[in-house]
């Protein structure tokens, strides 16, 4: 599994989000590997392939102006959501509430954690996946699989649910090492979104799965 987080990059908004998702779908079809895209909320109905939201809120339908509802995300076409990304950190009780909301409406929950210990702690909330991303490596040129392979192994051991990893993942070797260390997949963002040849980069990453 590869999750491509579009974040709020200018290369992945509006029509560019659609084009990027089409490249992801093409790479998935060519390789037989699962590639999930996580665009901005307003782009979810437009993009191709399997889609996760970048964030949802714990509120239920009602007078909650500005909330990103689980029901709305589901109806827009998403089948899962990222929770507690390093750029959108949440309190533990809020994370639990969002996981519960995902379960209520049938969304896959991917909870992000910054350390092996936090992977273990948040896995006890029973999400579908925990995603280990050391914040100091996010968006950088050094991947977590090369900089901190032992820490990935610890994250897998501490977690009670399947683990994904991310931060600096850019090559098939990065992906392959992550899988060898026990991860079920990877999260990527700038390494795909900002590259000159998205399809080539995705095919490279898929070869490591």
Q: Is 55 a catalytic site residue?
A: no
Total structural domains in the chain?
1
Say what the pLDDT of residue 168 is: 74
DSSP string, 11-54: GGSTHHHHHHHHHHHHHHHHH---EEEE--GGGTTT--SEEEES
Active-site residue among 118, 133, 154, 204? 133
Question: Choosing from 34, 55, 85, 200, which is the catalytic residue?
Answer: 85
What pLDDT is recorded for position 166? 87
Summarize pLDDT for 26-51 with one digit per residue, the tens. 999 999 999 999 999 999 999 999 99
Host domain of residue 149: 2-206
Record the pTM: 0.94
- Residue 124 is part of a domain; what is its CATH number? 3.20.20.70
Conformational region of residue 168, where left means phi above 0, alpha means psi within -120 to 50, and beta covers everything else: left
Q: How many Cβ atoms are within 10 Å of 88's Cβ, its own excluded?
A: 11
C-alpha 88/C-alpha 148 separation (Å) is 23
Q: Is 85 a catalytic residue?
A: yes
């Amino acid at each position: 599994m590869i999750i491509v987080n579009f974040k709020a990059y200018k290369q992945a908004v509006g029509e560019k989000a659609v084009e990027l998702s089409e490249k992801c779908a093409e790479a998935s079809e060519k390789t037989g590997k699962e590639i999930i895209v996580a665009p901005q909320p307003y782009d979810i109905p437009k993009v191709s392939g399997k889609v996760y939201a970048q964030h949802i809120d714990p509120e239920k339908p009602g007078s909650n102006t500005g909330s990103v509802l689980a029901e709305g995300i589901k109806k827009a076409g998403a089948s899962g959501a990222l929770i507690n990304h390093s750029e959108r950190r949440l309190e533990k009780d809020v994370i639990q509430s969002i996981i519960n909301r995902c379960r209520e409406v049938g969304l896959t929950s991917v909870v992000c954690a910054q350390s092996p210990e936090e992977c273990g702690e948040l896995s006890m909330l029973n999400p579908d996946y925990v995603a280990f991303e050391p914040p100091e490596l996010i968006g950088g040129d050094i991947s977590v699989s090369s900089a901190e392979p032992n820490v990935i192994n610890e994250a897998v051991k501490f977690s009670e649910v399947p683990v994904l990893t991310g931060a600096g993942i850019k090559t098939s070797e990065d992906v392959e090492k992550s899988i060898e260390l026990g991860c079920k997949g990877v999260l990527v963002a700038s390494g795909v979104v900002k590259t000159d040849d998205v399809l080539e980069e995705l095919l490279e990453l898929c070869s490591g799965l």
